[in-house]
Structure 1
């Protein structure tokens, strides 16, 4: 459960993140509505909360993820919807003094004809550079591991001409931290980024009586990717039920599926 919560926090990217003295100050998802041939400017706020200098490198990668929790970072142009070639950073390396803040700027230059309508994206990797320090206790060196931060830069081109196409891939009921949880895998088979919320309406299989409506948190879902949405249904006793799954994005596009649901005691 704890690992899943950290993963959700990483994909939502709505908060500042701290590791080894480095904080990203202005969120890890940057979205733009773009037009042909125009230039858009953005920035990344970075702070060194430590007391010693910290070097940081920045570079671009393509990025996808799946509902099984796998996340893939690959070279630019690996993804056919990459915007990595559109983005130029004003620097690839900075060094922050202790307690210092700075901003790294980037420009997005949209091609005159970017191709099909929809979302294009890549990530700016922000990686603290850790020094390799000699060990006083034994031969060799001590290498300190670091965490890289992935800032999604999502550009929506002619978004009005397309929309998400959400598909329910699977539903499982599993116990997490002693709570019965519906784990619902959803894929975005469309061409547009969206941020859906998933709800589950549960009904008595014999009488049709509605027993409850439960919802997930909203999470961003890029085209041709999938995620697992988690819903606490621990108030529902063990039995067989009928249920309706409803995924709704921020534009009120709704996708529904009728399912049979089994909640077990163990």
Structure 2
């Protein structure tokens, strides 16, 4: 998952630039099936894509997110399902030459007695270290905003004993960039991380004829979090319809609900 943090200044004549000098090469979500008392290893691959040397710091945080778009990054051990104490990074600061690639290694030591099965998680924040440099051309200073990455480290303990429980929280249609977008807020009330896809089957209200099936992108959903799944239904003409919403995870567990939709294309 990527979060852009803009550090703003109120000084007159200040200038703000957004840079992404580094990229993560092996994904923003690392999932491990683990057992009590065992040790597991992982890696984070980083590349400096700029033409200048770049220092990068790494640290652990807890986090959660909700369908309204809010993302909360908090100190380690503030989430009851945190695994921050299980994870040890081999370094917290690296220096990369221009165009250089490297790997950061981490070790997960699972406690010997975890009584609650399910997913435990945290994120490794990967953040370029930027210098604030005086400006010779204008009053004030130039502040360079940086792109930092939050890499999920998810550990599933006794996953065969746990399961997701998907609930539909809200359904609405909004027009975005000339398209009719069905927004379905889905929450995972269970105790296991999953990767659901939302699908809508649309039917004629008068005769029950099936008129179309549309699906969202697949997204990961942690326990006790929610996300908004977006489905383009612009092909449907203005009218009122019956519909079935279906959330299906990678294990083919399906959760469904009947709704009425009103599409307004004018």
TM, length-normalised to structure 2:
0.92
SS in 1 for 2:211: strand
Structure 2 CA distance for aligned equivalents of residues 79 and 238 of structure 1: 45
User: 1:91-170, aligned counterparts within 5 Å?
Assistant: 91-170=91-170
Which residue of the partner structure matches residue 41 of structure 1? 41
User: In structure 1, what is the Cα distance between the partners aligned to 2:202 and 2:125?
Assistant: 42
Partner of 1:5: none
Q: Extract unaligned runs of 5+ from structure 2.
A: 4-17
What does residue 264 of structure 2 align with?
264
DSSP-derived class of the 2:116 partner: coil
What is the rounded CA distance, in whole Å, between the counterparts of 2:247 and 2:140 in structure 1?
Answer: 54
Gaps of 5+ in 1: 1-8, 12-17
Q: Deviations over 1:156-204 (max 9, x none)?
A: 0011111100000011011111111110000000000000011100111
Distance between the aligned counterparts of 1:215 and 1:247, measured in 2? 10
CA RMSD in angstroms comes to: 1.4
Question: Could you say what secondary structure the match of 1:108 adopts?
Answer: strand
| Alpha-carbon shift at residue 139 of structure 1 (Å) | 4.3
Structure 1 residue 172 and structure 2 residue 152: aligned? Answer: no
Deviation at 1:19, TM superposition (A): 4.6
Structure with greater contact order relative to length (CA < 8 Å, sep ≥ 6): 2
How many residues matched? 252
TM-score calculated relative to the size of structure 1: 0.92
How far the C-alpha of 1:147 sits from its partner, in A, is 1.5
Q: Which residue of 2 aligns with 1:225?
A: 225
